[in-house]
Structure 1
Amino acid sequence: MTAPAHPPAVRPAAVDPLRWPDVAARPHSPVRAAVAGRLLRRAARLRGVRVDLPGGRLPVPAPRDAPVLRLHHPEAFLHRIGADGLIGFGESYQAGEWDSPDLVRLLTALAADPAALVPPGTALLRPLVCRRRPAHDLGTADNARQNVHRHYDLSNDLFALFLDPTMTYSSALFPTGPDGAPHAARPDLPAAQHRKIDRLLDLAAVGPGSRVLEIGTGWGELALRAAARGATVVSLTLSREQQVLARHRIAAAGLADRAEVRLCDYREAEGRYDAVVSVEMVEAVGRRFWPDYFRALDRALVPGGRAAVQSITMPHERMTAAADTYTWILKYVFPGGLIPSVRALGEAAAGHSRLLLADSTGFGPHYAETLRLWRERFTDRAAEVADLGFDEVFRRTWEFYLAYSEAGFRSGYLDVRQLLFTRPGEVPPPRREAGADR
């Protein structure tokens, strides 16, 4: 029995080939498309996914409430996957060739143990179908500026459409229920973001008189919270858009004498500090430059200082398997980065600095809830996204990015952790009175 046919979605009317060359161009690879078709049937069977076609349904058993992959242009979909794997999967969504009534649920099902979706004996063929990272994305000092510009300098107004009033672009920390899960039925996202920031500042022992270096400013909320505690803060960013708005927010709060925002690479940080804090910035550094990152933290800390780092993480085996792979997220959202494992960060710190990992706390389910709120707000304000000058392909790109990321945390493929690095045996710096160094 087949499902009723559904009308194909309207492909974005004008896919700009200069802005979106690989979305505008449909690859033609019949042999690989045939292989992709077999992989699709295997994935549908193993994950209990229903695949709807324009004229019916893929004849694979699926539960009544199965997540749905709705193919509007099956041939184009299979050719893209055959030619470019998971990058093609994402580009096919950007092009409007497939949809789902519950995109997160579908992607969560597909993200669970992805290695099992590959038939036994074919893993050795991975290098033939997975592209390697381009050299121009590597996190050198010059490339890092361009990588940051491509994402964070899109538009402050764009980010304001889906972030909460704190303009915090990292995982929140919600109250938890009796089972330890985030209690987000009626979420107060600004309060949850402050709870996350305050926990990290506590981890770094930031208080009155503390000298704080922040690596990765965002739009300034952590610097504001630290300065309000009586600390003096130097915050580093490579985003001019973020620097302008963060400075404005700090001045509006009357804290410009306590918090300074510099346009500066972490490798060029100057001064010595009681604490270094860094929220979801190390993911952008890249594996080759983790030694530089930890040497910079080590160099910046006074004896007894503490470095508190929040990072998205993944299991070590998955990280090493994907370390050299060019992915859809790297191509379209976060160029140049790599999500680390806790083990990799601990080894990089111990191997290239005097810092050792002293504490690690995870709260991945809270990121899933944070992303849900961002995604729903982004989707609800699609017209305002268009008013800012972003086209339909951009909207679908970010819709897929937010759903893909949420699915990663819901499936357990990703986690987010607050990590404390210290130099064992050193005496903590003495507490200073607020403003003592000014």
Structure 2
Amino acid sequence: MTRPALTSQARSQPASRTAWPPHHMVQGSGTAAAAPAVRRADVDARRWPDVARVPSAGPARTTLARYVVGRALDRLGLTGHPVGVRPSAGGARLVLHDPNAFYRRIGRHGLIGFGESYLAGEWDSDDLAGVLTILAGNVDELVPAPLRRLRGLWVSARPAADQNTRNGARNNIRRHYDLSNDLFATFLDPTLTYSSAIFSAFPARFESLAAAQHRKIDRLLDLAGVSEGTRLLEIGTGWGELALRAAARGARVTTLTLSAEQAALARERIAASGLTERVDVQLRDYRDIEGHYDSVISVEMIEAVGADYWPSYFTALRRALAPGGRIALQAITMGHQRMLHTAATHTFISKYVFPGGLIPSREAIAEHSAAAGLHTLADNGYGEHYAETLRLWRERFTAHLPAVTELGFDPVFARMWEFYLAYSEAGFRSRYLDVRQLLLSEGTHR
């Protein structure tokens, strides 16, 4: 099936590009809310074909899913009362509105079906991130060991069309980052930084998200040794905040992106800051890097590269590095065995959010960087900081749902995006995921 949630068809009308800053820009964190309720009968089947219809799973699969998943939900204490009515024991609860559809979807498509059931309004929770955190923390025990060998019954391989060839990478980036700059402005802070912040202390309400994002950027710039006169290459522009901050230090920045939407707004912001002479924004694939640089920085870019192209990515990093140069990476990571399973599986995130992407393990990064002739000099983790960043993003997004609707995104999209943010937050809260800053340098042989 196609995934129109990641194309302009996800909107009832095109979102226009507004002047900077957009009027939807969020200045502070909002109050947590829930995405709008959805009835499956009202879902637009043209935009959301796999949400609008309940798949045919067969009675055996449905019964198996009901037995395994139902028992797991009960065992974890997730079966509860209607949303808004807390049982005396408290805690996160999952409320089924259409149990038959819920178990049919899981029986046929596993975790993709679980997510699509949420998009269809077949289940809800008044603590979505809490439910998903409990599930993520117990993921290895959800399915009994003897049944794990039957995994092929409910998982499928990743579509070949999602591979990150040069054309594929452009299409995959377009399907996420070119949705609408204004959409991202509804939940990011004014720096428009779409990666983990680093906070001075928890809870994060004692400092702004923008300040925590600048702390993260400054650590990366320090790690890479960026100062006056540094020739800096950035792979993955985002909306330009790191390039702006590096240029303010006196660096000469070349920054690469495949997103036309991001490039346009990054150039506007750079021009508004008077730093156009110091920053060159290029629509260019990392495989086509030209020149040599004193420092290279890439923030949460490796996850979009795809496992087949990690050798090309690290080779490109090393090739761009001038003698004695430094590479600073920020990367989301997961355990190695989990990565291997995920690499062979089409997931909810790869279907609806990041086509072609794969989160690497620390072992995979070490292996591929070493094969390219790079040494790891530092490796520090900040997983709890990403959980907090995602919590703030999710609160901002749900607090500004009217702005999302004004942009033309429908209620199913709103539930999908809320689910994505909560799902990601749960991954870090449960330590299923981590985020790390690494310093690399080349080996003795060039």
Q: TM-score, normalised by structure 1?
A: 0.90
Contact residue 39 and residue 117 of structure 1 kept, 8 A? yes
Q: Which runs of 5+ in 1 are unaligned?
A: 1-8, 177-181, 428-438
SS in 2 for 1:421: strand
Q: Does 1:401 align with 2:423?
A: no
What is the one-letter code of the residue matched to 2:378? D
Q: Distance in 1 between matches of 2:365 and 2:152?
A: 26
Map of 2:178 onto structure 1: 153
Q: Distance in 2 between matches of 1:365 and 1:15?
A: 36
Across the two proteins, how many residue pairs are aligned to each other? 408
Q: Distance in 1 between matches of 2:245 and 2:280?
A: 13
Q: For 1:138, which of 148, 163, 173 is the aligned residue?
A: 163
Show CA shifts across 1:294-340 (max 9, x none): 00000000011111110111111211122111000000000001000
Q: For 1:100, which of 93, 111, 125 is the aligned residue?
A: 125
Contact residue 78 and residue 92 of structure 2 kept, 8 A? yes
Map of 1:33 onto structure 2: 62
Show CA shifts across 1:79-104 (max 9, x none): 11111000000000111111001001
Q: For 2:380, which of 361, 378, 385 is the aligned residue?
A: 361
Q: Shift in Å at residue 187 of structure 1?
A: 3.2
What is the one-letter code of the residue matched to 1:135? A
Contact residue 219 and residue 243 of structure 1 kept, 8 A? yes
SS in 2 for 1:185: helix
Show CA shifts across 1:215-240 (max 9, x none): 00000000001000000000000000
Map of 1:313 onto structure 2: 333
Map of 1:46 onto structure 2: 75
Q: Does 1:24 align with 2:44?
A: no
Q: Shift in Å at residue 63 of structure 1?
A: 8.0
Q: Distance in 1 between matches of 2:391 and 2:70?
A: 29
Contact residue 38 and residue 411 of structure 2 kept, 8 A? no
SS in 2 for 1:90: helix
SS in 2 for 1:162: coil
Q: For 2:188, which of 157, 163, 166 is the aligned residue?
A: 163
Show CA shifts across 1:386-422 (max 9, x none): 0100001100000100010001111110100001111
Q: For 2:137, which of 101, 112, 118 is the aligned residue?
A: 112
Q: Kindly report which structure 2 residues correspond to 1:51-70, keeping only aligned pairs within 5 A, or say none.
A: 51-52=80-81, 64-70=89-95
Q: Distance in 2 between matches of 1:220 and 1:260?
A: 10
Contact residue 68 and residue 101 of structure 1 kept, 8 A? yes
Contact residue 52 and residue 71 of structure 1 kept, 8 A? no
What is the one-letter code of the residue matched to 1:174? F
Q: Distance in 2 between matches of 1:76 and 1:205?
A: 55
Q: Shift in Å at residue 39 of structure 1?
A: 1.5
Q: For 1:377, which of 371, 396, 421 is the aligned residue?
A: 396
Contact residue 243 and residue 262 of structure 1 kept, 8 A? yes
Q: Does 1:299 align with 2:319?
A: yes
What is the one-letter code of the residue matched to 2:134? A
Q: Distance in 2 between matches of 1:113 and 1:395?
A: 27
Q: Distance in 2 between matches of 1:77 and 1:13?
A: 15
Map of 2:288 onto structure 1: 268
SS in 1 for 2:331: strand
Q: Which runs of 5+ in 2 are unaligned?
A: 1-36
Q: Does 1:328 align with 2:348?
A: yes
Map of 1:230 onto structure 2: 250
SS in 2 for 1:418: strand
Q: Distance in 1 between matches of 2:197 and 2:277?
A: 28
Q: Shift in Å at residue 128 of structure 1?
A: 2.7
SS in 2 for 1:150: helix
Show CA shifts across 1:191-237 (max 9, x none): 00000000001110111100000000000000001000000000000
Q: Distance in 2 between matches of 1:146 and 1:121?
A: 39
Q: Distance in 2 between matches of 1:21 and 1:102?
A: 27
Map of 2:104 onto structure 1: 79
Q: Shift in Å at residue 342 of structure 1?
A: 1.1
What is the one-letter code of the residue matched to 2:430? S
SS in 1 for 2:107: helix
Q: Shift in Å at residue 10 of structure 1?
A: 5.0
Contact residue 44 and residue 51 of structure 1 kept, 8 A? no
Contact residue 232 and residue 297 of structure 2 kept, 8 A? yes
Higher relative contact order (CA 8 A, sep 6+): 2
Map of 2:219 onto structure 1: 199
Q: Shift in Å at residue 242 of structure 1?
A: 0.2
Map of 1:389 onto structure 2: 408
Q: For 1:91, which of 116, 128, 132 is the aligned residue?
A: 116
Q: Distance in 2 between matches of 1:122 and 1:187?
A: 47
SS in 2 for 1:214: strand
Q: Distance in 2 between matches of 1:210 and 1:159?
A: 30
Contact residue 87 and residue 328 of structure 1 kept, 8 A? yes
Q: In percent, how many aligned pairs have the same letter?
A: 60
Q: Does 1:126 align with 2:151?
A: yes
Larger radius of gyration: 1
Q: Distance in 1 between matches of 2:287 and 2:439?
A: 20
Map of 2:304 onto structure 1: 284
When the two chains are superposed, the root-mean-square deviation of aligned CA atoms in Å is 1.9
Q: Distance in 2 between matches of 1:391 and 1:317?
A: 37
